[in-house]
Structures are given as structure tokens and as C-alpha cells.
Amino acid sequence: MAVECLTGKKVLIKGNYAIAQAAVNAGCECYFGYPITPQSEIGEFMSGKMQELGRAYVSAESELAAINMVLGACSTGVKAMSSSSSCAVALMQEALSYATADELPVVLVSVMRGGPGLGNIYPSQGDYNQSTKGGGNGDYKLIVLAPSTVQECADLTYKAFYLAHKYKNPTVLLADGLLGQMMEPVEFKPYPYPEIDNSSWALTGAKGRDGRIIRSYAPLADRQCEFLEKLYDKYKKIEENETEWEELNAEDADVVLVSFGSTSRNVNSAAKLLRQKGLKVGTFRPITLFPFPNNRLAELSKSVKKFVVVEVNMGQMVNDVKLAVNGRVPVELINKGVGTPPSPEEIAAKVEELM
Amino acid sequence: MATQVFKIADTFRKDVKYTFCPGCDHGVAVRLVAEVLEELGLKEKAIVAAAIGCSVTIYDFLNIDALESPHGRAMAEATGIKRARPDKFVFTYQGDGDFASIGLAESMHAALRGEKISAICINNTTYGMTGGQLGPTTMVGQVTTTSPTGRNLEYYGYPIKVAEHIALCDGTAFSARVSLDTVANIRKAKQAIKKAFEVQLKGLGFGFVEILSSCPTNWKMTPEQAHDRVRNEMMQVFKPGIYKDITEKSGK
């Protein structure tokens, strides 16, 4: 049943294609999408591949329709996904809110571009808040995974399907135009996670049982309170089990540079430059943006003298770092609004100014 | 000896009380859907994408699998379900606001793609659940809470004739408009629902039925007056009939 393509080989591949190929390898049965730069290659790849494999691909009439088609497919228990970018992911927020309430294993690949509004097609990290805080209504969380290399684009796509199904919660792979468009060597492993049994809830026709209803509508206030408590118990479990980050020389560092996604590449190089100068600089990269590695940052704040957050937006993740650090030490920001991340030299120079 | 002349379909949930207003035709429409599901033996393979509005409560009555959809998106949910599970019987049950206003793009494109889905659209010329506002099918001159002096074309534009528009889509296999104002018309409505379901089962394409329905509460009428309005006003503009049936031509 499992179709594993390119597995075991090292191939030079674009981020968007790596994501699409990994989704196919993960057993994604349905792809629904609408074109938008800089992620259109995902839909282009899927249109051919899914048809070839006898799986479903639909060119949806809009992103509203695309994400709702994903909800429909997911309600039957299959792995299904959509992919999009910034201003179009904005259109999907209502459905993501529904998917959290309906507890559907939706996978969405969000390849960020410049905003607000139409913005531009340069890389950006301006949708950190959109993914982690939500633009939909009500109290909910999306699981958000942020790759920083093309290899991770593939690996975290696998993980996105796994976590979405394990927790019955929509999961976002948050990449950006840089990762989507860049080529790097990737080794595709076979899908490494166990398949999740969904027979207790999936809509498959009421055969030998009563009809199942997947809904969020709760006419009684008590029931809604109860549901929200249950939902947040689940989020707590996700925080306990799934928080993931990468840190380099953070233990003994005076200054820790915090960044996510493609920006971390230059941040790691900047830290190396500063270490060469004898400065005690470390790096910290949240891989899961929700769950955010609050506890580890809080722990580090006992020994670290200063955190410097580097991001390509006007300062979004910096607020989460501040919350985690809780005023114990200063948290500074190095940022630019949109485009490729600042160079290692630029970052290093600014960090030195802040030290 | 007693003879059974009426039986509640097995596709109904047991001991459920109807929550529709007295005289509302939703009750009849839901019963017809339940009966057709039973007669075609679809209980175990049916999945309904429910909509928003009074129609959402269909999952409280039917004992089949159901997915709630955001307002206007039932047809997208249904497309996802059908593409994921082509062997299931998938249908939507929507109001005119859901199907023909906020969800018009999804409805038209599902029909254009020829999705093997069946759709029921209840046309009561108003937004019922929110208290009777002007909707896409509100008739010319009709007073609603948001057309206090009546729907005047200069100010509000035209209502949509849904069954005719859906019939124009090449992927549509069956499109009809029916009413529930008399026993004879209720029988015709059931036949149309059956046909819209059968074209899906035969893999022919999109099956659609627009059902003209009373809304006594929001029209501020008695059930009798409401059905007179369906007959004397709605059926004169939204003419019942079969607007497309590809099985007629091809003899399938």
C-alpha cells in the first residue's frame, strides 16, 4: 500500500518538491489546493503524482474550498492535506478553527511570503502569529512545525501527518519562500511513524452502529465549557510530549540567539563567527512553534545573561520568548520586515553592539 | 385486522423530537430524505455534510454519519468526503443562504466538476435561523427584517433561480425544483430526491433538488397561509419542474 518514492537515495531537490514527495511517501490520500507563489510547485507535483497513484487531487475553486475539502476528507480518517501561502492561508483560518473543534487531523503546509495584504513573494516569517496564535475564532491551538533545511521540510512533513492523526488536531508545516524555492540534498527515509487507528471516530457509514456526528456546535454552555477543558487537556499533553528544539552551545553561553526556520541557518553561522572571537554565544531554535519550548527557555534564563531573537518580521516570536523568560533577563530583537534573512556578518555585528 | 399505512424510516434516530417550527416544511423534507435513504438501502454507506442554518439539525434526526461544515462550505466538505471515500453515498442538506449565497462558488464548482454528490437545497426565501433577513432567494417586493419596505430591485438586486443555474453546469446530471404544498407535490418531491440520489449511485454526476419550503415563523403567517404563499407566490416565480435529467436523453 505504502508508496515510497526516492527512499534510500540522496537527491538534490527543491523544498516545495521535497514537501510534496514526503507527503506522498507518508500516505497522503488526498490533496486539495489553489495556486499561490511561492508554493505552487507542491500542487503541480501533486496533480501528476496523485493521479498516477490513484489518489485524489482537486484543483479547488478557492482556498476556502480547498481547506474545507481537507476537512471533509479527514473526517473519513484518511491522510489529507492542502498547501498555501500567507494571504491565502488567511482565507483558511475559519476552517482551521472548525478543524480544531471537530478534532480533525488536517495537515496544512504554509509557505510564508511577504505581507500584510498581497505583500510580495519574497520570503518572510510574518505568519508566525497567524500560525501559532490563530486567525480563526475561539480558543484553539494548531500544532506548528518549522523546518530550517530542505531535509527537515521532508522529515517534518512526515511528522506533521503523524502528530495530526495522533492528536486529532490540525497541524501546520510552517516553511517560507526561501525553503520552498531552494535546492538541497535530501535523503528520503520511509515514513517512520506508526499508523494511527481511527476506527473509533472516522465517518465510514453507519454499518452495524449508530450514525456518528462530527460537529463543534454545542447549544448548551456547560457542554462547551466541558469541551474546551478537554481540548486544553489535550494541548497540555502535546506540550508535555512533543516540544522539540535544537540548541547549540547554549549551556555555557552569555548570549543565546533564538530564531526559527530558515533564519536559523544564518544565525548559526553568526554564532560561530562570534565564538571565534571568543564571545560566549549559543543558539536556540524552536522546531515546534506550538508547543513552544517555554520550559527550556525559562531554564536557560537562569544562566544566560541575554537573549537575542532574530526573525524576518517586525518581531513576533520575540514576544513568546519574553513570556518564557518572564523578565529574568533582557530579550532583544534583531529583525527585518521581509526578504532573505540578514547575513551572518550583519547578525554578528548587531549582536556585538547589543553585548 | 390492522394494516400498517405509515412507518417511520429506519434511517431516523429513535425518540427524537422535531425542533422545527410548526408548519415548517423542513420536517417533511427531512422525512423524505430519510425515506429515500432507506428505500435505496443507503443507511450504512451514507455520509451527510450538514450546513449552517435551520438545516444543520439534520444530523439530530438522521441516524447516519454526519459532518458539520462551516457556513457555505458543505459542498467542499462533501467533495473531500467523496474523493476520500468514492464508495460512500455523500449528500448535503443546505438552506438557500448556505447553498446559493455564501456557498454559491462551492455549489457551482461542485456541479461543474461533476462531483458524484447529491445536494438538497431548501428555499424558503429568507434566512430562517437568524430571524428572517433578506437572502439570495428573497422575492421581489418581499418584506424581511433587512428589507423593511420590501425587496426593491433598484436597491437590492435580483433573487437567484437556483435549479436553473445548477442545470446549466455541464457536470450536473439531474436538477429539479419541487414544492411540498400538497400531498401530490410531496410525492413528486420524493421522486426527485430519489432521482438526485440515483444519479450519484450510477456515477453520472451531480444530482440536485431545490425544495420550496414554508417559513411561517419568519413570514409571520399561519402554516396554512404559508403554504398558500408557496403556491400563489413562490411557485409562480420559482417554477417547479425538472430542469435537467441526463437519464432522460441517454436512457441510463
- Domain of B194: which CATH number? 3.40.50.970
Range of the domain at B89: 26-250
The percent of residues in chain B predicted with pLDDT above 70, rounded, is 99
- CB-nearest partner of B68 from A30, A76, A215: A215
- Residue B168: left if φ>0, alpha if ψ -120 to 50, beta else—which one? alpha
Continuous segment of H or E residues that includes residue A33: strand A30-33
Name the β-bridge partners of B209.
B120, B176
A235 inside 8 A of chain B by CB? no
Confirm whether B7 is domain-assigned.
no
Compute the distance between CA of residue A111 and CA of residue A273 in angstroms, rounded to an integer. Answer: 30
Which strands form A255-258's sheet, in the order they lie side by side? A245-248, A281-286, A255-258, A306-311, A331-335
Confirm whether B12 is domain-assigned.
no
Residue whose C-alpha cell reads 512526515 in the numeric block: A158
Q: Where in chain A is the domain with CATH 3.40.50.970?
A: 10-191+229-241
**Cell numbers given for B211:** 425544495
Q: Which residue from B minimizes the CA distance to A206?
A: B44
A258 inside 8 A of chain B by CB? no
pLDDT digits (tens, 9 = 90+) for A14-53: 999 999 999 999 999 999 999 999 999 999 999 999 999 9
Q: What is this model's ipTM?
A: 0.96
- What residues in B contact A217, CB-CB < 8 Å? 56, 68
Classify A258 as helix, strand or coil. strand
Residue A110's contacts (CB-CB under 8 Å, 6 or more residues apart) are A83, A84, A85, A86, A89, A127, A130, A131, A172, A173, A174, A175
Classify A155 as helix, strand or coil. helix
The pLDDT of residue B17 is: 84
- What residues in A contact B58, CB-CB < 8 Å? none
Confirm whether B60 is domain-assigned.
yes
Average pLDDT over residues A80-101: 98
DSSP E strand stretches across chain B? 46-50, 65-68, 89-95, 118-123, 172-179, 206-212, 241-245
pLDDT at residue A253 above 50?
yes
Compute the distance between CA of residue B66 and CA of residue B208 in angstroms, rounded to an integer. Answer: 19
pLDDT digits (tens, 9 = 90+) for A103-148: 999 999 999 999 999 999 999 999 999 999 988 999 999 999 999 9
pLDDT at residue A2 above 50?
no
Q: What is the 3-state secondary structure (H, E, C) of A104-146?
A: CCCEEEEEEEECCCCCEEEECCCCHHHHHCCCCCCCCCCEEEC
Average pLDDT over residues B168-195: 98
pLDDT digits (tens, 9 = 90+) for A288-311: 999 999 999 999 999 999 999 999
Chain A nearest-CA distance from B136, in A, is: 20
Average pLDDT over residues A327-339: 97
A29, A59, A76: best to mutate for the B interface, most B CBs within 10 A: A76
Q: Rounded to 5 degrees, what are φ and ψ at A53? A: -90, 5
CB distance B25 to B210 below 8 Å: no
Compute the distance between CA of residue A49 and CA of residue A56 in angstroms, rounded to an integer. Answer: 10
Residue B95's contacts (CB-CB under 8 Å, 6 or more residues apart) are B51, B53, B54, B55, B121, B122, B123, B124, B127, B128
pLDDT at residue A54 above 90?
yes
Are A203 and B47 an interchain contact pair (Cβ–Cβ within 8 Å)?
yes
Compute the distance between CA of residue B35 and CA of residue B117 in angstroms, rounded to an integer. Answer: 18
Q: Where in chain A is the domain with CATH 3.40.50.920?
A: 245-354
Are A211 and B65 an interchain contact pair (Cβ–Cβ within 8 Å)?
yes
pLDDT digits (tens, 9 = 90+) for A265-283: 999 999 999 999 999 999 9
Torsion of CA A111, A116, A117, A122, to 10 degrees: -50
If one counts every other C-beta atom within 10 angstroms of the C-beta of residue B152, the result is 11
- What residues in B contact A206, CB-CB < 8 Å? 43-44, 46, 63-65
Confirm whether B106 is domain-assigned.
yes
Confirm whether B151 is domain-assigned.
yes
A71 inside 8 A of chain B by CB? yes
Handedness of CA A87, A89, A92, A93 (dihedral sign): negative
Confirm whether B149 is domain-assigned.
yes
Which residues of B fall below an 8 Å CB-CB distance to A? 13, 43-47, 49-50, 56, 59, 62-70, 73, 75-85, 88-89, 105-106, 109, 113
Confirm whether B18 is domain-assigned.
no
- What residues in A contact B76, CB-CB < 8 Å? 60, 64-66, 68-69, 71-72
Q: Which amino acid is at A243?
A: T
> How many domains does the structure of chain B reveal?
1
pLDDT digits (tens, 9 = 90+) for B73-126: 999 999 999 999 999 999 999 999 999 999 999 999 999 999 999 999 999 999
**A245-354: which CATH architecture?**
3-Layer(aba) Sandwich (3.40)
Confirm whether B125 is domain-assigned.
yes
CATH superfamily of A10-191+229-241: Thiamin diphosphate (ThDP)-binding fold, Pyr/PP domains (3.40.50.970)
Average pLDDT over residues B192-215: 98
Compute the distance between CA of residue B106 and CA of residue A65 in angstroms, rounded to an integer. Answer: 7
Residue A6: which pLDDT band, with cuts at 50, 70 and 90?
Answer: confident
